[in-house]
């Protein structure tokens, strides 16, 4: 590709858009991971990604 479009602002803009894309791509996966660490009741009631209380029992009891 040509190089004259890779000026600073354009390049930063590109990264911003790409990072937004990354968030969109990974959010569902992160949500899945966070749900696996939450106790069952919390999954549908709290919307934050960080579990309020960490619960590893889902991994222990298959």
Partner 1 sequence: MPTAVASEPDTQVPARPVPAPPARRRTADGRWGGVFLAPWLLGLVLLTLGPMAASLYFSFTDFGLLGSPHWVGGKNYAELLTDDPTYLQSIKVTLVYVGLSVPLKLAIALLVAMVLNTKLRGLSFYRAVFYLPSLLGASVAVAIMWRQLFTGDGVVNRFLAVLGIDAPSWVSNPDYSIYTLVALAAWQFGTPMLIFLAGLQQIPRTLLEAASVDGAGTVSRFFRVTLPLLTPILFFNLVMQVIGSFQAFSQAYVVGDGQGGPAESTLVYSLYLYKAAFVEFKMGYASAIAWVFLLGIAALTAVNFLFSRYWVFYDDEH
Which residues in this chain contact partner 1 in the complex, by CB under 8 A? 1-3, 5-6, 14-15, 17-18, 21-22, 25-26, 28-29, 31-32, 35, 43-44, 47
Minimum CB separation from partner 1 for residue 41, in Å? 14
In the bound state with partner 1, the residue whose beta carbon lies nearer, of 2 and 57, is: 2
What is the length of the chain? 62
Minimum CB separation from partner 1 for residue 7, in Å? 12
The distance from CA 45 to its chain's CA centroid, rounded to whole angstroms, is: 18
Instruction: Say how far apart CA 50 and CA 31 lie, in whole Å.
Output: 9
37: its two tokens: 């660490």
């Amino acid at each position: 590709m040509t190089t004259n479009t890779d000026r600073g602002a354009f390049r930063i803009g590109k990264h911003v858009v790409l990072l937004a894309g990354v968030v969109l791509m990974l959010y569902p996966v992160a949500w899945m991971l966070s749900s696996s660490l939450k106790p069952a009741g919390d999954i549908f009631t709290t919307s934050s990604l960080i579990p309020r209380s960490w619960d590893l029992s889902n991994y222990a009891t298959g």
